[in-house]
Structure 1
Amino acid sequence: MVDVKPRIADESMDKSKVWKLMEITDTAQCRSLKLGDSIRTAKISRLIYTNSGVAILALASNAVHLLWKWPRNERNSTGKATASVSPQLWQPPSGILMTNDTIDNSPDEAVHCFALSKNDSYVMSASGGKISLFNMMTFKTMTTFMPPPPAATFLAFHPQDNNIIAIGMDDSTIQIYNVRIDEVKSKLRGHSKKITGLAFSNVLNVLVSSGADAQVICVWNTDGWERQRSRFLQIPSGRPTSNILDTRVQFHQDQQHCLVVHETQIAIYDASKLEPSAPPITHATFSCDSQLIYASFLDATVCIFSASSLRLQCRILPASYLPQNISSNVHPVVVAAHPSEANQFALGLTDGSVYVMEPLESERKWGIPPPAENGSTSNMSTPPNGASSSDQPER
């Protein structure tokens, strides 16, 4: 070993260039907007931006859908979702609501799920009863199908064919259903409890599934619907689970790496090989460019991680967006990322409220990425066309 004294002029010793975690502690450090709701709802169970980025759709635990649309005007020339302009809670002239079919009039106890078509024209949704297909312009129910049992617990449109839907069920099966001909094409079995997550990759031609068994991730080939592989998550031994969050899966924009979210961990796997914290995690999602991961926690904190290293980049404390007099039991249960604004996301809370979050205009982003360890960089920072398929889990 050679004893080398650091040079005073060395850039690595310049304190002004030392990375520091961005921490937001009050309302002056970010922009937040509570979305108005003239319709009183219960807990927000599901939340998503429309693919065009001009609206947010929520599904509450009382089986009612809420749709907020942003106006296009002088203050908002793009018409896209923003925390600077209030949207309108949209309803068609008929005044009807998109309300899911329920069983025994107890929607609060049901598993809620929905999926949007690519053109934002239709939403497929379920709240314990039959699956409903709604027209997003008129809110009219186009059709209902698959009365329980079993009940649907997760829905996903096939990326190449909107007539094909993967339906996760509470009996642990996955049904591949063709809406046009009203027929189940395949029934997939690989989990022991209800299905909690489904994600398609149009690059690998696979469907990844997760279940309430918490530890098993399965990969299915979409050509013949055969199971290619499965993997057990590394849940910390002796760690009791609280059923706050079922395991969820989501594909990176490179369509090769898969984000797996469990209350004990956030992990990224190479889906082609399935090779591979604080208060419980309630939900997490990639930003639209897959460079960030937005994660919410049981204590209402929101953490923003660099997706390339899974290192914390920004922490948003509850006091920066929640009223001071709010109950300590109120926290986010679902996070949705804007489809084209990488630094905007929305939170759905247990009290039925929805918040849109953005950094200050002067900051423009949620902190800066932490420096790479030992000079390493992630292969996921490259565009999808240039992405490699390293078999090493990022963290």
Structure 2
Amino acid sequence: MGPFQCCLQLCVWSIDGWEKKKSRPIQAPPGHPTPLVGETRVQFHNNQSHVLVVHESQIAIYDAQLECLRSWYPRDSLSSGISSAIYSCDGLLIFTGFCDGAVGIFDSDSLGLRCRIAPSAYVPSSISSNGNAFPVVIAAHPSDSNQFALGMSDGAVHVIEPSDAETKWGGSTSQDNSALPSIPSSSALNSQPSETPSR
């Protein structure tokens, strides 16, 4: 490491004088180069005792003592780097965007994959020809826990929610990741362009 390089750390600061109280390095996933570098985002869970940590190499849940409770690393059908992630408004789901345009919806308790959305399910075929757009930011709906918006790298915004046939993402039971199908482009996924007002 050079003199100005450092590993990524999760820190707790006192707002009285901004004194660092505790810090913990963020562990690199198996097979990932160390030290981890790059943008890292954090978000408190509604319970104010868990923190979602988002890095291109992983999503992880930490407790207030900065212990990593569980983590998930890109693999299998979601093997691209993570571009963004956020809790749903009720804190039960984590909406995660990937650099290849895919979206993963995870259970926040187990980090089990509930649903994978292929970019072809929400990007109209007339504009998906460049194929390089991906979610750079995700915004959870403030009151509908199954709806979120994707802010794309090409400037587009897509509002995403389950199809009319489903009431929530991935059903009510947790399933094995390998058993979850991708949502094909012919699905009834409701994707609304940014000009359409949300409900």
TM-score category of the 2 structures, normalised to the smaller one: 0.7 to 0.9
Q: 2:46 aligns with which of 253, 257, 265?
A: 253
Provide the rounded CA distance (Å) in 1 between the counterparts of 2:165 and 2:9: 44
Q: Give the AA of the match of 1:330.
A: A
- Give the alignment's Cα RMSD to 1 decimal: 2.3
How far residue 362 of structure 1 moved from its aligned partner, in angstroms, is 2.7
Q: What does 1:1-395 correspond to in 2, within 5 Å?
A: 215-236=8-29, 239-240=32-33, 246-271=39-64, 273-276=65-68, 277=74, 278-325=79-126, 326=128, 327-368=130-171, 369-370=173-174
Corresponding residue number in structure 2 for 1:126:
none
Where 1:357 maps in the other structure, the secondary structure is strand
Q: CA deviation at 1:237?
A: 5.8
The alpha-carbon deviation at position 339 of structure 1 amounts to 1.1
| Per-residue CA distance 1:11-58 (angstroms, 9 max, x = gap) | xxxxxxxxxxxxxxxxxxxxxxxxxxxxxxxxxxxxxxxxxxxxxxxx
Cα offset for 1:340?
1.1
CA contact (8 A) 2:8 2:25 kept: yes
Distance 1:255 1:215 in 2: 22
Alpha-carbon distance in 2 for matches of 1:284, 1:360: 21
The alpha carbon displacement at 1:245 in A equals: 5.8
In structure 2, how many angstroms separate the alpha carbons of the residues matched to 1:352 and 1:255? 32
Q: CA deviation at 1:244?
A: 9.9
- Determine the C-alpha separation between the residues in 2 that align with 1:245 and 1:352: 22
The answer to whether the 8 Å contact 2:29/2:58 transfers is no
Would the aligned equivalents of 2:7 and 2:37 in 1 still touch at CA under 8 Å?
Answer: no
> For 1:146-175, what per-residue CA distance to the aligned partner results, in whole angstroms no more than 9, with x for missing partners?
xxxxxxxxxxxxxxxxxxxxxxxxxxxxxx
- 8 A contact 1:244–1:282 mirrored in 2: no
Task: Report the residue type matching 2:67 in the other structure.
Answer: E
TM-score, L = length of structure 2: 0.73
The structure with the largest alpha-carbon Rg is 1
Distance in 2 between the 1:261 and 1:348 partners? 17
Q: Distance between the aligned counterparts of 1:262 and 1:269, measured in 2?
A: 13
Number of residue pairs matched by the alignment: 160
Poorly superposed stretches of 4+, deviation over 6 Å: none
1:290 deviates by 0.4
Determine if contact 2:90/2:145 at 8 Å carries over to the other structure. Answer: yes
> Partners in 2 of 1:238 and 1:317 — Cα distance?
26
1:311 Cα shift?
Answer: 0.5
Q: TM-score normalized by structure 1?
A: 0.38
Amino acid at match of 1:274: L
- Separation in 1, partners of 2:93, 2:30: 28
Do the aligned partners of residues 329 and 216 (structure 1) sit closer, same or farther apart at CA in structure 2, a change above 3 Å counting? same
Q: Deviations over 1:158-210 (max 9, x none)?
A: xxxxxxxxxxxxxxxxxxxxxxxxxxxxxxxxxx68xxxxxxxxxxxxxxxxx
How far, CA to CA, are the matches of 1:371 and 1:355 in structure 2? Answer: 27
Deviations 1:331-385 (A, max 9, x none): 111111011110110001111100111112331211134169xxxxxxxxxxxxx
Name structure 1 gaps, 5 residues minimum: 1-191, 194-212, 373-395
Contact 2:114–2:175 under 8 Å retained in 1:
no
Taking only the aligned residue pairs, the percentage that are identical comes to 51
